[in-house]
Amino acid sequence: METYLLNSAACLAILLLFYKLLLEKETMHLFKRFYLLGSLFAAILIPYITFTSYVEVSPTSIIPISEGSLMVSESISSSSFNWTALLWIIYGLGVVIFSIKFFRNLAALFVRIKQNPKLKNKGFINVLLNDNIVPHTFFSYLFFNKDKFNKNQIPQEVIVHEEAHAKQLHSLDILFVEILQIVFWFNPLIYLAKNAIQLNHEFLADQSVIKNGIETSIYQRTLLAFSSNAQSSKLANAFNYSSIKKRFTVMKTHTSKRTIWSKGLLLLPLLAVLLFSFSTSEVIERDASFANSENLKPHYKNSLIQDIATKKMVKEYNALAKKYNSLPKEKRTISRNELERMVFIFDRMNKEQRDNSEKFPEIIVPKNAPAPPMPIPADDLHGVVPPPPPPNAATPAPQVEIEMFEMDGDSELLPPPPPPVPSVHMKELAEQGAIFYFEGKEITGKEAIKITRESKSINIQVRDIKSKKPIVKLSKDPIVVEDR
C-alpha cells in the first residue's frame, strides 16, 4: 500500500507540473479540462497496471510432500505497539471528517434551493437569496442576490458567465474532486488539482462570455466590481473564485493551432515515461515441460507428483481395507499387488483422510520354522565319526514368485511412517538462505513456512539444493518432470 501511494503521488505531481509549466496559460481550456481530470484517473490507475512476462525454466529436483501429524511452532517477534492499526484509525477519522464536511455543504445548497424563491429562465433556475452573495452556480441552479436581481443591478456579463458554468456541467467536476478529496484527504496534491480545475472552469466561462460579443475591457471592469468577500458555497462555481490577475492575463492570450498540436503531442512521451516508471512488472517462471504438454509421452504420466490422495484413491483404499479387515487374522491372505497398492495410497493420505478411512489391515508376519537338531556323533574307539543318518523327506522350496502370503503368528507389520513435515523443511531451507517463489512470485521464508503449514495440497520444487542459495518453488498445481 505504501508503494502504491508513493507512486500515485509522484505520478500526479509530474502531471500537475507539466500542466503548470506548459498548459495553464494557454487558451485551449477544453483540452486542459480533460487533461486535469485525466491526470487524476492516471495517477490512480497507472500504479495498478502490471506487465507480466513469462520465463521458461527446467525443473531439476522435486520433493513430493504431504501433511504430517507434527506441528512446528515458530516464534515470530511482534512489536509491542501496533502502528498499522493507529495509522488506519487516523485515516478513518480523516475520512469521517471530510465526509461530514462534504455532505454538510451539499445539504446547505439543497436547503438554499428549497427555502428561497426560484425563477425558471431558458432552461436554468435562478435562486434568489436575501444574503449578500457572489453569483455562483450548482448544476442548473444559478444563485443571485434577490435585491440586485430584481433591480437589474446584475450585469448581463455575469449572468452569461454563470450560465456557461451550468451548460458545461462544471459542478460535475467539482463533485468528482470532492469525493477524491475524501478518500485521499492526506494527499496535498489533490487540493492543488482541485484549485487548477476550478481556475480552468473560470477560464472556460470567461471565454464563453467573450465569444458572446462582450468586449474584454468591459468584462474585466465587471470582474473587478464583483470581486468581494461575499459568501458562496464550497461546492458551487463562484464568480470571484479565481485570481483576477491570472484571468486577465489569459484573456489577452491567443494560442495557435501549432502550439496546441505540439504541446498535445508531448503528452505521448510523458505517458510512456509514467507507465514505464510507475507501473509494476512481474516475471513468472513457467516449467518448460508445461509449454509443450501436448507432446508428452505416455510414460511421463507416471511422473505426476501428487501431494495428497484423491477421493478416488481413498475410495479404492477403503474397499481393500474393508475387505481384509473383515477376515480373521489367522485366515487373512493378502495379495502382494493389493498390499503394495494400499501402502501406496496410505502413504499419500493426510491426517484427516486417515482418520475418516478404514483402519489399515493388521498384517501378521509368519514365524520362522524351528532349526533341525544337531547330529550327535556315535562313540568310536578309532575316533572315526560315523556318517549322519539319512535325512527326512525334503520340504519343497518356496517359489521365487510368491503370489500369496499365509498369515499367522503375532508379529505385526506397522503402517509406513508419515512423510516429513513441509513447514519444517521450509524452515531448514530458509536458514540456508534459500530464495522462495509461490506461483511464480517471490516470497519470504516466513511466508513459505506459513503456506506449507496452512495448505493441505502443495507441491515443492527445490533447485540447486547444494548451493548457498537454493531456489524453492511452491505451487498448488501438479508438476510434470521429463526424463532426461
Residue identified by cell 483540452 is 31
Q: What's the pLDDT score for residue 392?
A: 59
324 has pLDDT over 70: yes
Locate the domains of the chain by residue range: 2-72+84-278, 305-367+400-418, 422-475
Helices of type H across 156-304 = 156-167, 170-183, 188-211, 216-225, 244-251, 257-265, 267-278, 288-291
What is the distance between the alpha carbons of residues 37 and 47, in angstroms, rounded to a whole number?
17
> What's the half-sphere exposure (Cβ side, CA atoms, 13 Å) at 296?
19
412-454 pLDDT, tens per residue? 556 666 666 787 888 888 888 888 888 888 898 888 888 888 8
Where does the pLDDT of residue 401 fall: very low under 50, low under 70, confident under 90, or very high at 90 and above? Answer: very low
What the block records as the C-alpha cell of 205 is 466561462
Q: CB neighbours (10 Å) of residue 463?
A: 17
Q: Mean pLDDT, the chain, as a whole number?
A: 79
What is the distance between the alpha carbons of residues 84 and 81, in angstroms, rounded to a whole number?
9
DSSP per-residue letters across 398-425:
PPSS--B----SSEE-PPPPPPPPHHHH
What residue ranges in 11-121 does DSSP mark as E strands? 50-57, 62-63, 118-121
85-120 pLDDT, tens per residue? 888 999 999 999 999 999 999 999 999 999 999 999
The pTM assigned to this predicted structure is 0.55
Q: What's the pLDDT score for residue 300?
A: 43
Q: What phi-psi label fits residue 425: left (phi over 0), alpha (psi between -120 and 50 degrees) or beta?
A: alpha
Q: What's the pLDDT score for residue 268?
A: 92
User: What is the identity of the amino acid at 260?
Assistant: I
